[in-house]
Amino acid sequence: NAGVTQTPKFQVLKTGQSMTLQCAQDMNHEYMSWYRQDPGMGLRLIHYSVGAGITDQGEVPNGYNVSRSTTEDFPLRLLSAAPSQTSVYFCASSAQRNSPLHFGNGTRLTVT
């Protein structure tokens, strides 16, 4: 059982470039979410989705877009990368409103 899979594991971008971080889960979870983790800080919610076709903003949504065309996939798009987006990004999913979150192993992104 793969759980939550994030790709790539590492990425280096130049300022202004765009890219998509991929997240897929094979547990048929309705709820999916993206977080960023900066040094010395806890995780902060970027965007989340409660089902296919439904997305909403979290604490720090600026500079990021998401879509949810299928239950399995929840990609995170950086439209024009900035050095402030250097961070570790985690994707998580859960079955129901108050079920535990299952996290992927993260993508470490550096923007130069």
Partner 1 sequence: DAKTTQPNSMESNEEEPVHLPCNHSTISGTDYIHWYRQLPSQGPEYVIHGLTSNVNNRMASLAIAEDRKSSTLILHRATLRDAAVYYCILRTGNQFYFGTGTSLTVIP
By CB under 8 A, name the binding residues for partner 1: 4, 31, 33, 35, 40-45, 48, 50, 56, 58-59, 90, 92, 97-98, 100-106
For residue 36, the SS3 value is: strand
Smaller CB distance to partner 1: residue 17 or 72?
72
Instruction: Report in angstroms how near the CB of residue 16 gets to partner 1 at its nearest.
Output: 29
Smaller CB distance to partner 1: residue 28 or 40?
40
